């Protein structure tokens, strides 16, 4: 079956512009996660959705970052007024149910964001 | 502080050789530990997941070990292949259930297998 897909695969934007990153999770997966991977760093948790609600958004680095999920499926991560330090690979993952940490997370290929 | 430390940071080996990657963690309370493989430009793919009571788990040429007392894990790769070149990430889950923000990621070991 289809895996997690993300778009765009690459995004170059000017400092100060807004960007939207999209994630299509595996069909039937109720849990969805966003992570950020900066060069030479480990994955950094951003936000977790269970269905359309976000019980944990503690990883969002500032109020310029927001995310939503509609229909229990597609999610969009929005970064407003982008800064150069936002440059990173943004990874999305989904799992059957976020209520159990033993469920495997399946990752998408990521969106490489470059802010110039 | 909850941390996951991996060593070495990078490793180069010849095709056909074995290698062992290390992961030390200070995460508490502990739920499970995963090893992921991340090819360049791709998302991580799970290799193994181990709970507190499991000492060893194998997946083909990959064998993970876990010592919950010393809070150490290793990933052993046997008879390496060129396709094993990737970053290997150790991930520790802090709780059973609840917020998934409790996954703590290591920075990974970058493995290069040369012919």
pLDDT tens track for A70-98: 988 999 999 999 999 999 999 999 988 76
For residue A62, how many C-alpha atoms fall within 13 Å in the half-sphere facing its CB?
8
Alpha-carbon torsion, ordered A98, A99, A102, A103, to 10 deg: -40
For residue A101, name the pLDDT band (cuts at 50, 70, 90). low
Tell me what the mean pLDDT of segment B5-21 comes to: 97
Q: What count of residues does chain B have?
A: 115
| Closest to A93 measured CA to CA, from A43, A25, A1, A37 | A25
Does the pLDDT at position B96 exceed 60? no
| Burial state string for A88-107 with b = 16 or more CB within 10 A and e = fewer than 16 | bbbbbbbbeebbebebebbb
Interface test with B, best of A42, A48, A97 (most B CBs within 10 A): A42
Task: Tell whether omega for the bond before B29 is within 30 degrees of 0, i.e. cis.
Answer: yes
B60-86 CB burial, b ≥16 within 10 A, e <16: eebbbbbebeebebbbebeebeeebbb
For residue B92, the chain A residues in CB contact (below 8 A) are none
Dihedral sign (CA B4, B8, B12, B18): negative
Taking CA atoms, what residue in B is nearest to A49?
B100
Q: In this model, does residue A43 exceed pLDDT 80?
A: yes
Beta pairing, strands B103-105 & B86-93: antiparallel
Of B99, B102, B105, the CB nearest to A42: B105
Flag whether pLDDT at B86 surpasses 60: yes
Task: Please say if the pLDDT value at position B32 is more than 70.
Answer: yes
Query: Is residue B104 within 8 Å of residue B92, measured between CB atoms?
Result: yes
Mean pLDDT (chain B, rounded): 91
Chain B residue numbers with beta carbons less than 8 Å from the beta carbon of A26 are none
User: Phi/psi at B101 (nearest 5 deg)?
Assistant: -70, -5
As a residue count, chain A comes to 116
Distance from CA of B101 to the nearest CA of A (A): 6
In this prediction, residue A58 carries a pLDDT of: 82
pLDDT at A108 over 90: yes
Average pLDDT over residues B68-92: 96
| Cα distances (angstroms) measured from residue B73 to each of B18, B34, B57, B84, B89 | 17, 10, 11, 19, 12
pLDDT digits (tens, 9 = 90+) for A5-35: 999 999 999 999 999 999 999 999 999 999 9
* Residues in CB range of B15: below 8 A, 6 or more apart: B80, B81, B82, B113, B114, B115
Q: For position A59, what pLDDT does the model report?
A: 87
Nearest to B99 among A4, A55, A95 (CB): A55
Please tell me the predicted confidence (pLDDT) of residue B97: 47
B100 vs B20, residue with greater confidence: B20
pLDDT of residue B31: 82
Q: What value does the mean pLDDT take over residues A31-45?
A: 89
More confident call, A100 vs B54: B54
């Amino acid at each position: 079956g289809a895996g997690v897909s993300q778009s765009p695969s690459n995004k170059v934007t000017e400092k100060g512009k807004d960007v939207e990153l999209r994630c299509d999770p595996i069909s039937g997966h109720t849990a969805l996660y966003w992570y950020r991977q900066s060069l030479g760093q480990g994955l950094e948790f951003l936000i977790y959705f269970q269905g359309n609600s976000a019980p944990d958004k503690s990883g969002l680095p500032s109020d310029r970052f927001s995310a939503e999920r509609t229909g229990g499926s597609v999610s969009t991560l929005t970064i407003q007024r982008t800064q150069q330090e936002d440059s990173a690979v943004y990874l999305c993952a989904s799992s059957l149910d976020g209520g159990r940490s033993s469920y495997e997370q399946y990752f998408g290929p990521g969106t490489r964001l470059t802010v110039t | 502080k909850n941390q996951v430390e991996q060593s070495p940071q990078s490793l180069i080996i010849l095709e056909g050789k074995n290698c062992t990657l290390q992961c030390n963690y200070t995460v508490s309370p502990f739920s499970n530990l995963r090893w992921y493989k991340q090819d360049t430009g791709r998302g991580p793919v799970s290799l193994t997941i181990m709970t507190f009571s499991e000492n060893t788990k194998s997946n083909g040429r990959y064998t993970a070990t876990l010592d919950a007392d010393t809070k150490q894990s290793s990933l052993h790769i046997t008879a390496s292949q060129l396709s094993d070149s990737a970053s290997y990430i150790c991930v520790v889950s802090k709780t059973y259930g609840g917020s998934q923000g409790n996954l703590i990621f290591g920075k990974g070991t970058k493995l290069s297998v040369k012919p």
